[in-house]
Structure 1
Amino acid sequence: MKDLEEILKKELDCKVMKPFGHGSGEFFSYDTDKYGKVFVKLSSNADIARPMFEAEMASLNLLRELNLPNVTIAKPYKIIDLPYMRGGACLVLDYLFTESLYSNELQAKIGTAVAHMHLHNIRMKKENPDKYVDKFGFNMSTYCGRIPQDNEWKKEWLDFIMNNRLGHQIDLLRTKLGHEEAAHLWDLKIKPNLHKLFENVSVEPSLLHGDLWAGNVGMKVDESEAYMYDPAVFYGHHEYDLAISSMFPGFRQQFYDAYHALIPKAPGFEDRQRVYQLFHYLNHWNHFGGGYKSSSLSIMRNLASMLKA
């Protein structure tokens, strides 16, 4: 803790670095003379610490550029290497004191903001073609958890979702766990037929949050502002962002109603949600082990059966 504070003072050029709140092994809060209150995220994993925080910083800065309505995105200040952690690093950003998003009004405002985020690139196609992104991916790997995402640019969304997302997770399972049923379902039943779910839908690249579950949104204590954080951005199908939002409690109907008022559901929406949720279940399986095995395989069996018809 003392080592961290001395490094922060030096790197941020602060004379005052006063801890407050309840820190943990990976998260600390400080009151400073130069930046006000800051939040510090640590990682001791030398393999991913700096690239993970570089990806988060790039994601936050890109979302901040959009000036989304009714939502605050934390400003990142600096990534700092931590020699005492032997390859670890930290990210310093604005401190946002958040509560769970229980306000129905702010649920709707977040829904509207997410829709604006998804529509931004599509609007650029008409309003500022030079800034329009016509591919799927991102210019660096971003991290959904601790696993780097393959964001190599692809012209077609089907290619991206099959190979950069689902195929990548299946390959990790093969390497780590050698799981035969998952590989069999993917190789022989799902991948060859996945195109059926995209035959009647036009997919344009949208800027995505990338990890939009309820734990990554919040609100100010007085309910005056909504917050969004921990992004892992890339350009993809806007429906992808909604998949994890419904996997865990937190988002209410007001969020979805406001979102779909701007971006209505396209035919086949629910079936594609299963595909996008499969990525997150596989990602959780690769992160946390067997607890997500049965749910992952259940979705894969259902998809295989549905795509066979």
Structure 2
Amino acid sequence: MSFKETLNKVVHQMEGNDNFTDVQPVSGGDINEAYYIRTNNNEYFMKLNKQVDPSFFTIEAKGLSMLKDTKTIDVPAVYGVYEEDGIPMLWLEWIEGNKHNDTDSLLGERLATLHLSEASGFGWEETTYIGKHKQANTILPSWTDYYRDYRLKGQLEIGRNKGLISGKREKNLMKLMERLDKWLPKNPKPSILHGDLWGGNWMVGNNGNPYLIDPSILYGDHEFEIAFTELFGGFSKKFYQAYHATFPLSDSYDDRKDIYQLYYLLVHLNLFGEIYGGTVDRILKKYMD
């Protein structure tokens, strides 16, 4: 069966007897193929990946629905997760728009409002993904225990298996994990976090409204999310000013920012290789003093 015939099967399930009228490949990140699809009734953004289990997209769809339910920040509508002819697909609302002067401020304010949403523990109820790696989860009463045992330890195990974390790097990471209580807050507010918020995981829709995409949901310290926004850029001064005005960071944030960024650097080390090794080693050395 051709790709167009496969698309038609899904469109028929969503819209009845209608067929798509246009399909164009678009940029969709490092992991998935992505397409703009137009029918007589609608426009869609569709992602597919022939190498993943359908749960990869089901979990993403649940995360988007969770964010939508908070009524704090916009996300694309989820039309469905489908598997046709062995191809898992996620169909979403097509989002398109232009920034205006307030877009970055709205993003900061609405993200802070999301982080003020209540949660009852730290972690998440089920396995998620960070990149293409599965992220094991559970709900724990201690943020330090969750961050050590389900974030840093998970990446340590992946890195060991890939031969990327060994020797001095492994020793220093294990020492840091043993001493997390020294730097992490004892009882932070459990916030609902996007979980993978770099500059490519938000976009602009109608009227300049910011949208979050590609979540890896968890309950955690809101400063964990902000630390990642600072790691690779993509967020403006207006964004941070609006965020801090709504949900200020603690005076001790800078003491642990690198520890929070370390998780994402370990993810990148395990996904993309030794190009991230030097930065990981620098952070580990900093906290060995």
Asked if TM exceeds 0.5, the reply is yes
SS of 1:140 mapped into structure 2: coil
Are residue 75 (structure 1) and residue 62 (structure 2) matched?
A: no
Residue 229 (structure 1) shift: 0.9
Are residue 211 (structure 1) and residue 196 (structure 2) matched?
A: yes
Residue 223 (structure 1) shift: 5.1
2-side partners of 1:248 and 1:104: how far apart?
A: 22
Are residue 15 (structure 1) and residue 2 (structure 2) matched?
A: no
SS of 1:266 mapped into structure 2: coil
With 56-65 and 190-199 compared, the bigger mean Cα shift is at 190-199
Q: Is the 8 A contact 1:22 1:28 kept in 2?
A: yes
Residue 202 (structure 1) shift: 2.9
Q: Is the 8 A contact 2:106 2:209 kept in 1?
A: no
SS of 2:288 mapped into structure 1: helix
SS of 1:18 mapped into structure 2: strand
Residue 14 (structure 1) shift: 4.5
1-side partners of 2:165 and 2:184: how far apart?
A: 28
Are residue 32 (structure 1) and residue 39 (structure 2) matched?
A: yes
Which of residues 167, 177, 182 is equivalent to 2:169? 182
Q: Is the 8 A contact 2:46 2:91 kept in 1?
A: yes
Alignment of 1:148-167 (within 5 A): 148-167=134-153
Q: Is the 8 A contact 2:122 2:141 kept in 1?
A: yes
Residue 304 (structure 1) shift: 2.1
2-side partners of 1:153 and 1:141: how far apart?
A: 11
Q: Residue in 2 aligned with 1:112? A: 109
Q: Deviations over 1:141-197 (max 9, x none)?
A: 22121111122111100000001001110111011115322211112x211211111
SS of 1:304 mapped into structure 2: coil
Residue 20 (structure 1) shift: 4.3
Q: Deviations over 1:95-137 (max 9, x none)?
A: 11256x6x4521111000011000011xxxxxxxxxxx32111
Q: In structure 2, do the counterparts of structure 1 residues 33 and 159 end up closer, same or farther at CA, with 3 Å as the change threshold?
A: same
Q: Is the 8 A contact 2:164 2:274 kept in 1?
A: no
Q: In structure 2, do the counterparts of structure 1 residues 224 and 186 end up closer, same or farther at CA, with 3 Å as the change threshold?
A: closer
Which of residues 181, 192, 198 is equivalent to 2:184? 198
Which of residues 221, 236, 247 is equivalent to 2:231? 247
Q: Is the 8 A contact 2:21 2:40 kept in 1?
A: no
Residue 267 (structure 1) shift: 2.7
Residue 300 (structure 1) shift: 1.4
Which one-letter code corresponds to 2:96 in the other structure?
F
With 296-305 and 275-284 compared, the bigger mean Cα shift is at 296-305
Q: Which runs of 5+ in 2 are unaligned?
A: none
Q: Is the 8 A contact 1:217 1:227 kept in 2?
A: yes
1-side partners of 2:156 and 2:188: how far apart?
A: 24
Which one-letter code corresponds to 1:176 in the other structure?
K
1-side partners of 2:217 and 2:196: how far apart?
A: 8
Which one-letter code corresponds to 2:284 in the other structure?
M
Q: In structure 2, do the counterparts of structure 1 residues 163 and 14 end up closer, same or farther at CA, with 3 Å as the change threshold?
A: farther
2-side partners of 1:193 and 1:56: how far apart?
A: 33
2-side partners of 1:153 and 1:290: how far apart?
A: 32
Q: Is the 8 A contact 1:137 1:235 kept in 2?
A: yes
Q: Residue in 2 aligned with 1:57? A: 61
SS of 2:47 mapped into structure 1: strand
Q: Is the 8 A contact 1:185 1:304 kept in 2?
A: yes
1-side partners of 2:5 and 2:279: how far apart?
A: 43
1-side partners of 2:261 and 2:53: how far apart?
A: 26
2-side partners of 1:141 and 1:209: how far apart?
A: 15
How many residue pairs align between the two structures? 281
Q: Is the 8 A contact 1:104 1:252 kept in 2?
A: no
Which one-letter code corresponds to 1:90 in the other structure?
M
1-side partners of 2:160 and 2:35: how far apart?
A: 37
SS of 1:257 mapped into structure 2: helix
In the superposition, the TM-score normalised over structure 2's length comes to 0.91
